[in-house]
A and B are shown apart, each in its own frame.
Chain A
Amino acid sequence: MPSLGADMDAGTVVEWAVAPGDHVHRGDLVAAVETEKSVIDVECFEDGVVERLLVPVGTKVAVGTPLAVIAPEGATPAPTPAPTPALTPAPAPAAGTPERDGAASLPRATPPVRRFAERLGLDVARLPGTGPHGTVTHADVRAAASTGTTARTDTTDTTDTTDTTVPSPTPTVPPAAPAERPRITPYARRLAAERGTPPEALRPGADGVVRARDVPAGTGATPTRTPRPTPQPTRPTTPPSPRPAAQGMRAAIAARMTRSLAIPQYHVDSVLELGAPLDRLREVNRRLPVSERIVPAALLLHATARAARRVPELNGHWVDDTLVPATTVALGVVVSLRGGGLLVPTIPAADELTLSELMAALRDVVARARTGRLRTSDAADAGLTVTDLGETGGHSVHGRIFPPQVALVGFGAVVRRPWAEGDLLGVRPTVTATLTGDHRATDGVVGGRFLHAIDDVLHDTEEWS
């Protein structure tokens, strides 16, 4: 069980995306693990062949517990294979995994092929396989996709004619929503049955697959409100009731913030003028495709990451009455969720990213947080956290430190304010930046220096690349 982020010392395996015999590669999503706050996809961190799964679905184990045994590629199954902590969630195979089928001792396809098929809306279990031992190959999937065979993941679905063959969320232009029954993982299907939720009331996540987290708690058909590509087939007639996951999240936030209360904290703030940086951003965006456009929030995050390099005293952890400076700038980003609650995924080595790269990282991690598909790499420990209220939020935010970190940076909305330049008064876009510091580790002067560093980076055009 890989690290699941600060304060999470255990997790429950809710899905296995691989079975013994599967070839896996570093970065593959091999399992999904549920914590009090969210479901996290576990990334495999080595190449090899899955030999054994050690932790059955539904079992809660501590961080550090081996989840599976992975033998090196090409090796004969060794008696003492290396335990593999996995890191990221794997798109679960569609219904009909080997373990469920019972009969199949060999996997029908490798995880990459399975994912490829899944992207195309096909289920490898229903495809003819031409590989060794009847396994399904890339070519088989391609062939099936091009001939439009009936091997759709959901065989009960006869109206599914759109979207599933499209790899990316390409919109269908006609606004009329196709009636589409989503794919569902075995675990989610079982949960739904246990909870008495009819399958047609289930709504898939952003990837079009119904997973455990998409199954509403309790008995009513009150689908959770996750962003999803198609309008829901059925609408709840009652407001969604709080889910246990949401309650768990509130409890986790409460516990962490209460712990933060024990830290002697100081606050400094500064109004930063953004006229030139935003003009420049507009110029940059004019030359970029819409999909690569950069939002001001990314600019502020980027400046914070670079500032953390200039003022390293605020990037680290307070451990045993000592400041342990971080060796890289792993930036925690507070992401508010639709329907309440928040998650704080991490952008690793944020100071080494160009502005464009940081924007891409931000988009990806926010999307994963909002669809409940964070990966273990997103759950890495941050050395410093940023909260940004966004363009329609309040003007300033004085947040609390996330222990064991020693600082938190906050940005309010970008607002136009009167601004003195020399003896002249003008109107400029500005943002109020705040810094909450752990007074045991640093003093207010360091916090002030940090805010100045952010300002410097914002106005330093060489920092943008």
Chain B
Amino acid sequence: MIPADAPTARDEAARALVRAGLARIAPGPDLDALEDTADLRDALELDSLDFLAFVEQLSRTTGVRIEEDDYPRLRTVASAAAFLTAAGVP
């Protein structure tokens, strides 16, 4: 439903996917207040198991295999969304 030639809409959708993934792991006021450019592990106090659960979640909802080497690209909501759109999602 999102036109492929609408990068802004795609980016919005990708951010929503990232936030939906985070909402499964660390829902609450901290997530609501999370800036798109904030370090999400610090802001949400995610430990390695939480982060892995987030990666797994994101991988499952998007179908994108996320390697450990890609973790640095998932530092913020914005960078994670950019990673997803670069991988062709949504």
The chain A residues found within 8 Å of chain B, CB to CB, are 169-171, 173-175, 177, 225, 227-232, 235, 282, 285-286, 290-291, 293, 295-297, 336, 338, 362-363, 366, 390-392
Main secondary structure of the interface of B (DSSP, over half): helix
B4 at the interface (CB under 8 A from A): no
Which residues of the other chain, B, contact A362 by a CB distance below 8 angstroms? 49
Cα of A285 to Cα of B55 in the assembled complex, Å: 13
Instruction: Report whether B26 and A175 are in contact in the complex, using a CB–CB cutoff of 8 Å.
Output: no
| CB pairs A–B below 8 angstroms (6 shown) | A171-B57, A225-B28, A227-B25, A227-B27, A363-B49, A392-B45
Instruction: Report whether B66 and A290 are in contact in the complex, using a CB–CB cutoff of 8 Å.
Output: yes
Cα of A142 to Cα of B20 in the assembled complex, Å: 30
Instruction: Report whether B24 and A171 are in contact in the complex, using a CB–CB cutoff of 8 Å.
Output: yes
Cα of A297 to Cα of B19 in the assembled complex, Å: 26
Nearest CB in chain B to that of A297: its residue: B48
Instruction: Report whether B24 and A286 are in contact in the complex, using a CB–CB cutoff of 8 Å.
Output: no
Which residues of the other chain, A, contact B5 by a CB distance below 8 angstroms? none
Which residues of the other chain, A, contact B17 by a CB distance below 8 angstroms? 173, 175
With A225-B28, A282-B68, A290-B56 known as contacts, the answer to whether A173 contacts B49 (CB < 8 A) is no
Cα of A396 to Cα of B61 in the assembled complex, Å: 37
The chain B residues found within 8 Å of chain A, CB to CB, are 16-17, 19-21, 23-29, 32, 41-42, 45, 47-49, 52, 55-57, 59-61, 65-69
Closest chain-A Cβ to B49's Cβ sits at a distance in Å of: 6
Which residues of the other chain, A, contact B47 by a CB distance below 8 angstroms? 297, 336, 390-392
Which residues of the other chain, B, contact A235 by a CB distance below 8 angstroms? 29, 32
Closest chain-B Cβ to A225's Cβ sits at a distance in Å of: 5
Instruction: Report whether B24 and A229 are in contact in the complex, using a CB–CB cutoff of 8 Å.
Output: yes
Closest chain-B Cβ to A357's Cβ sits at a distance in Å of: 16
Cα of A336 to Cα of B46 in the assembled complex, Å: 11
Instruction: Report whether B16 and A227 are in contact in the complex, using a CB–CB cutoff of 8 Å.
Output: no
Instruction: Report whether B45 and A338 are in contact in the complex, using a CB–CB cutoff of 8 Å.
Output: yes
Cα of A298 to Cα of B3 in the assembled complex, Å: 43
Closest chain-B Cβ to A204's Cβ sits at a distance in Å of: 12
Cα of A463 to Cα of B21 in the assembled complex, Å: 35
Cα of A230 to Cα of B28 in the assembled complex, Å: 10
Which residues of the other chain, B, contact A391 by a CB distance below 8 angstroms? 41, 47-48
Closest chain-A Cβ to B35's Cβ sits at a distance in Å of: 17
Cα of A6 to Cα of B27 in the assembled complex, Å: 32
Cα of A174 to Cα of B47 in the assembled complex, Å: 26
Cα of A390 to Cα of B47 in the assembled complex, Å: 6
Closest chain-A Cβ to B76's Cβ sits at a distance in Å of: 15
Cα of A65 to Cα of B20 in the assembled complex, Å: 45
